[in-house]
Chains A and B, each alone.
Chain A
Amino acid sequence: MLIKVPLSWLREYVEINVGVDELALKLHMSSTEVKGVERPWWDDRIRTARVEKLAKHPNADKLLLATVDFGAGNPKTVVTGATNLHEGAIVPYADEGATIIDGHTGERATLRGKPMRGIKSEGMVLSQKELGLGEDHEGIYILDPKLPVGALLREVLGETVLALELQPNRPDCLGIVGVAREVAALLGTSLWEPPVERLDPSAPKDLDVRIEDQRACPRFAAALLTGVRIGPSPAWMQTRLVAAGMRPIDNVVDITNYVMLELGQPLHAYDRRRLRGGALVARQARRGESLRTLDSMDRVLPEGTLVIADAERALGIAGILGGEDSEIREDTTTVALECASFEPRGIGRTATKLGLQGSSGSAAARRFSWELSPELVPIALARACRLLREHAGAKVEGVVDRYPNPRPRVNVRMRFSDVPRVMGIDIDHGETLDILRRLQFTAAADGDTLVATPPVVRTDIAIAEDIVEEVGRIAGYDRLPTRIPDGPLPLAERHRLEEFRERARDGLAGFGLQEIVSYSLVDPAWLVRLTADGSCIAPEPLRVVNPTTVSQSVARPTLRPSLLDTARRNLRNRSSVAIFEIAPIYLPRRADLPEERWTIGIVLAGNAQPVKEGETWLVGERRFDVRDLQGIVLGLAELLDVESSGDRSANVPGLHPGRSIGFGHGGRTYLVAGQLDPRVAEMWELPAETFIAEIDLAVWHESSRPPRVTAPPRFPAALRDLAVVVDEATPYGDIEREIQAAGGKDLESVSLLDLYRGQQTGAGKKSFAVRLVLRSATGTLGEPDVERLVKRVTGRLQHAVGATIRA
């Protein structure tokens, strides 16, 4: 959580004896992340000015002409649309040429005088936003009327501000006093606490508090204040609130905000007149109970919501958002001031349910969802009472503080040697004790035993490691030595599937394909664009409940749409795409996490020649065809020693029915390859000849056999060429399979020399010219052996596939 700490405010509680850059670095290194140091940057053209005269713009109803004196002798006329100006007001004024923040872009810009509805504005009166002080752009920033006219704004209002990003383990630093405590520890300087009201412990007649749910609200205190006069808060307070990023409202609200920024503890003020009955009650919301909150929204309170209620109804959502009905009004005179401690997880959960979590949600909820110390409650209440007396004329009628089960003090028992054991830095007892003292811990030492008690505001300290970190971080992590760990090394396991996967990556890249990595969450609309009829090729996907965009709202159950989309986008600017991706697909399982099934996806489309765009001088134009895809898939199988098996299916959803193939094992399809259905290709603006393969990596891995090698052959081979004439419908694979079956161990290989259709083969027939390589491992094959083998092969072909053999 980002907080802004004006340096002058911080100095009120701690002595700072180093420059701001050194301070920022020390804070940053020791855990308080410094996002930036904002320095006053206003130039000499930005000064205080008094509004001398206000007049209507002659040509525009909504614009005013303000004559302002900024001490230069000649008052200037500016055009403004602001409605909060009055004559005599002291305002920031920028003359032409000044650098200000552009209210619309948020960027720094040079102010140029320009005519508005016919009248030239000679300068500009500024809002807080234009000065970079906050987001408030509605009205002009009205300054302390006591400020001199014509003073450099930089000098009277300029603040150096530390922007600190706090982590939720340090709720104590949500208040500037907490940051001061850090600074005091880091610099070893003195710390002063802010003055508080001495409160009479007697309860007021007219106000009580009651806790119905002690777990959700461990401590609840309130003060009753009478004689309150609502008005603006003092100028110095407004300046600080603005510098810290808050908008001044009125003295009561400003004081609660001021105390929150100072101590970290939020408070809430109620108009006592609106409370029914004599008590504020912390209780669970009733079923269906609703409330109109300060943001003018009617909210039905979800189950488990803690509310602050009066005798009859909920007044506000505890720790998150007040109700509209009981808010402070201009005529409020009696105030019930609530200061309480809430269980942080409950606040976090409720804020999330109401959409009020995070940086754009409720400021109180963010603080209360951190573990604020209940010990802050009486301090913050007394501090607020004092400021209300001083700046709102309030009289404290009494306070009530319910804290039925005070939190036990934390005493961490540990050994001094835990520090070097965990940190690896040698820090001696003396330094350890000194650091703890500077952090306001109390510490008792007995030999190697140390008992450390953190200050009550430090709710993050519970175990020895916490103390070790405190000592280490104040000593400085730059003292950590650099060691390469020795000690016992674990025996690593093999991860064969992952090794196999990486071999596949290398193989495909080696074949010339470019690897892609695409989003694993995809558009659900993509999944119904993978077949001509819109039917799904994959099971119903897992959905993202809260997607950032619909185009990333389901976990992809197939790689296909990502591949097609990538091919489509690339083919806009090139003629050839040969890509692959190896990634998991997500397949839902009942009552379990999904199966993450690693899959290889390949797409080829366009120009098959590996040429530079337009380079055709050496190779002719050739488009990818299905044989290219086959070559890559079979080449990869060979490279990975995959012995393919399983059932072949011809009809693969989404692919061209006549130019695709699928393989499955027990109903699980593990490989599909072929031409994309041209109708699908058209939907993706892809060429009709787009080729795609998807391979289930685990199945391939299972069927991969480590190669068993033999020495190269010692005896010569005999070659025999055959022409095998078969019916057009007979696939080549059948021919090769039969030859292999008949050839036995002396048939080394079969190659296809040619495929011929024509007059010699006759109608409805085709002729395969094949070459048999025959070789024996035990000797040179003689002519009779060769003849016998060939005869066996031809006989089998005639018998099994009705082939005619021609020599």
Chain B
Amino acid sequence: MVGEDLKELADRALAEIGAAADEATLEAARVKYLGRKEGALTEATKRIAKLPPAEKPAYGAAVNAAKSRIEQALDQRARALRAKSLELDLGAEREDLTLPPRRVRVGRLHPITQTIREVSRIFGTLGFETVEGPEIEWDYYAFEALNIPAGHPAREKWQTLWISNPLGDDPSRPILGRPHTSPMQVRVMEKRKPPIRVVIPGRCYRYEATDAIRESIFFQYEGLAIDEKLNMADLKGTLYAFARQVFGSDRKIRFRVDYFPFTEPSAEIAFDCFACQGRDPECRVCGGDGWIEAAGCGMVHPDVLRRVGYDPARYQGFAFGGGIERLAMLRTGAPDIRLFYQNDLRYLEQF
């Protein structure tokens, strides 16, 4: 066989390889040309040894060239066939992804926790540090230190659950479930020097019949800010900033005069209704009057400052307090405060 024959052989091989429709045919072609025993090119290679030395180099080169062409073609064809078969396989492998998944359990935080975190986060951006304090409290901090001595008519506002200690009660130091978070105003000021900016979330207790908006065990948040010049305008701005974050931008804020024995002046804040913008007289969120009462507030009373050793001629500041559940209800449309504590998972899983 001479060089031309070898080239022809390779051409034939290439045609056969190119025509191979599957891997088996391709393998047959490989055996036919490159097979170790009877492959055509293997035969040609064996022949090299028998040639006269002068012909060997040229013939050898021709064999190698043909072999290399065939190998390349085989390789190329094999890859093409594999790609095609993979494509076919992928076309056949189908999963219905609208079927339900292998589910993971999803846990959520209770709406009270979520709301407390929201309150802490927002006031945090205004420089207020979150602190906490005891739920079971001395009468002194809950009332006396806040200008509400025994027999004071304002105690009516904070109907109290009185607590008895099984290890003995001291009638001169009654304890109670704190009816508001305001005792923490006094505790914080006793421990720190101005400037002060704190927010205090926590559980409170009242002797009160429950209904859709009132619970006898509930959560409040309290704010306190003291320095040398904070005034009612700062209070209004702080609460306005809070309302914008909670209820969205462009909330109107309304202050009306109110009374708390431990603030002077005192105010109650309301935000214009985010649900009806004050336009729906039947609105379920605001009850139709267009305003949502959110918190009581005011300038810390000089007597309260004096009692913790602050000089009211030098220091002044504000305090505010509101209900956590009320915020949660307003934010989510939750219809009844009692549902928060029934812990029906079908309810909680929605938050």
B36 contacts the other chain (CB 8 A): no
Q: State the B residues within 8 Å of A (CB).
A: 99-110, 112-113, 117, 126-127, 129-132, 134-138, 149-156, 161-168, 170, 175, 177, 192, 194-197, 203, 205, 207-210, 216-217, 225, 227-234, 236-238, 240-241, 253-259, 261, 264-267, 299, 301-302, 316, 340-346, 348-349
Asked whether B255 lies within 8 Å of A593 as measured between CB atoms, the reply is no
Q: List 28 A-B pairs, Cβ < 8 Å.
A: A30-B256, A31-B257, A168-B152, A168-B153, A366-B153, A369-B153, A422-B265, A423-B231, A423-B265, A425-B233, A463-B264, A468-B264, A480-B233, A480-B236, A482-B236, A483-B236, A487-B227, A489-B127, A511-B105, A517-B110, A542-B164, A548-B210, A569-B343, A591-B170, A593-B134, A596-B135, A618-B100, A618-B102
**CB interface residues, A 1-52, toward B, < 8 Å:** 28-31, 33
Q: How far is the CB of A164 from chain B (nearest CB, A)?
A: 13
CB-CB < 8 A to B340: which residues of A? 517
Asked whether B163 lies within 8 Å of A544 as measured between CB atoms, the reply is yes
Asked whether B344 lies within 8 Å of A569 as measured between CB atoms, the reply is yes
**CB interface residues, A 152-197, toward B, < 8 Å:** 167-170
Asked whether B343 lies within 8 Å of A495 as measured between CB atoms, the reply is no
CB-CB < 8 A to B149: which residues of A? 345
Q: Whose C-beta in chain B lies nearest to the C-beta of A474? A: B257
Task: Pick the residue among B104, B112, B129, B255 that contacts A490 (CB under 8 A).
Answer: B129
Asked whether B163 lies within 8 Å of A168 as measured between CB atoms, the reply is no
Asked whether B265 lies within 8 Å of A465 as measured between CB atoms, the reply is yes
Q: Whose C-beta in chain B lies nearest to the C-beta of A611? A: B103
Asked whether B264 lies within 8 Å of A617 as measured between CB atoms, the reply is no
Q: Whose C-beta in chain B lies nearest to the C-beta of A566? A: B343
Asked whether A484 lies within 8 Å of B259 as measured between CB atoms, the reply is no
CB-CB < 8 A to B346: which residues of A? 573-574
Q: How far is the CB of B328 from chain A (nearest CB, A)?
A: 11
CB-CB < 8 A to A358: which residues of B? 156
A344 contacts the other chain (CB 8 A): yes
CB-CB < 8 A to A473: which residues of B? 257, 265
Q: How far, in whole Å, are A338 and B174 apart by their CA atoms in the complex? A: 37
Q: How far, in whole Å, are A596 and B155 apart by their CA atoms in the complex? A: 25
Task: Pick the residue among B100, B166, B217 that contacts A612 (CB under 8 A).
Answer: B100
Q: How far is the CB of A582 from chain B (nearest CB, A)?
A: 9
Asked whether B130 lies within 8 Å of A521 as measured between CB atoms, the reply is no
Asked whether A485 lies within 8 Å of B156 as measured between CB atoms, the reply is no
A530 contacts the other chain (CB 8 A): no
Q: How far, in whole Å, are A596 and B205 apart by their CA atoms in the complex? A: 15
CB-CB under 8 A for A489 and B151, given A29-B257, A542-B164, A588-B165: no
Q: How far is the CB of A377 from chain B (nearest CB, A)?
A: 19
A646 contacts the other chain (CB 8 A): no
CB-CB under 8 A for A517 and B113, given A167-B258, A542-B165: yes
Q: How far is the CB of B277 from chain A (nearest CB, A)?
A: 18
CB-CB < 8 A to A591: which residues of B? 167-168, 170
Asked whether A509 lies within 8 Å of B130 as measured between CB atoms, the reply is no
Q: How far, in whole Å, are A91 and B101 apart by their CA atoms in the complex? A: 75
Q: State the A residues within 8 Å of B (CB).
A: 28-31, 33, 167-170, 344-349, 352, 357-358, 366, 369-370, 420-425, 463, 465-466, 468-469, 472-473, 477-478, 480-485, 487-490, 492-493, 495, 498, 502, 505-506, 508-521, 539-548, 552, 555, 566, 569-570, 573-574, 577-579, 584, 586, 588-591, 593-594, 596, 609-612, 615, 617-619
Q: How far, in whole Å, are A169 and B256 apart by their CA atoms in the complex? A: 16
Q: How far, in whole Å, are A577 and B230 apart by their CA atoms in the complex? A: 50
Q: How far, in whole Å, are A422 and B305 apart by their CA atoms in the complex? A: 15
Asked whether A541 lies within 8 Å of B166 as measured between CB atoms, the reply is yes
CB-CB < 8 A to A566: which residues of B? 343
CB-CB under 8 A for A168 and B107, given A477-B267, A518-B341, A566-B343: no
Q: Whose C-beta in chain B lies nearest to the C-beta of A576? A: B105
Task: Pick the residue among B101, B105, B109, B161 that contacts A547 (CB under 8 A).
Answer: B161
Asked whether A515 lies within 8 Å of B113 as measured between CB atoms, the reply is yes
Q: How far, in whole Å, are A539 and B165 apart by their CA atoms in the complex? A: 12
Asked whether B217 lies within 8 Å of A521 as measured between CB atoms, the reply is yes
Q: How far, in whole Å, are A473 and B231 apart by their CA atoms in the complex? A: 15
Asked whether B255 lies within 8 Å of A480 as measured between CB atoms, the reply is yes
Asked whether B231 lies within 8 Å of A424 as measured between CB atoms, the reply is yes
Task: Pick the residue among A472, A513, A570, A577 that contacts B265 (CB under 8 A).
Answer: A472
CB-CB under 8 A for A349 and B153, given A463-B302, A477-B255, A483-B236: no
CB-CB < 8 A to A516: which residues of B? 110, 343, 348
CB-CB < 8 A to B259: which residues of A? 31, 167-170
Q: Whose C-beta in chain B lies nearest to the C-beta of A516? A: B343
Asked whether A490 lies within 8 Å of B196 as measured between CB atoms, the reply is yes
Q: Whose C-beta in chain A lies nearest to the C-beta of B240? A: A482
CB-CB < 8 A to B264: which residues of A? 463, 465-466, 468-469
Q: How far, in whole Å, are A692 and B97 apart by their CA atoms in the complex? A: 37
Q: How far, in whole Å, are A269 and B234 apart by their CA atoms in the complex? A: 52
Asked whether A483 lies within 8 Å of B233 as measured between CB atoms, the reply is yes
Q: How far, in whole Å, are A358 and B159 apart by their CA atoms in the complex? A: 10
CB-CB under 8 A for A477 and B195, given A466-B264, A610-B105: no
Task: Pick the residue among B130, B165, B234 that contacts A594 (CB under 8 A).
Answer: B165
Q: How far is the CB of B162 from chain A (nearest CB, A)?
A: 4
CB-CB < 8 A to B155: which residues of A? 348
Q: Whose C-beta in chain A lies nearest to the C-beta of B161? A: A544
Task: Pick the residue among A352, A502, A515 that contacts B151 (CB under 8 A).
Answer: A352
Asked whether B343 lies within 8 Å of A570 as measured between CB atoms, the reply is yes
Asked whether A482 lies within 8 Å of B233 as measured between CB atoms, the reply is yes
Asked whether B207 lies within 8 Å of A472 as measured between CB atoms, the reply is no
**Nearest 7 Cβ contacts at the A-B interface:** A512-B105, A424-B233, A348-B151, A610-B105, A345-B151, A469-B265, A167-B259
Asked whether A509 lies within 8 Å of B257 as measured between CB atoms, the reply is no
Q: How far, in whole Å, are A396 and B171 apart by their CA atoms in the complex? A: 49
Q: Whose C-beta in chain B lies nearest to the C-beta of A471? A: B265
CB-CB under 8 A for A477 and B113, given A358-B156, A495-B130, A515-B108: no
Most chain B beta-carbon neighbours within 10 Å: one of A370, A518, A589, A612: A518
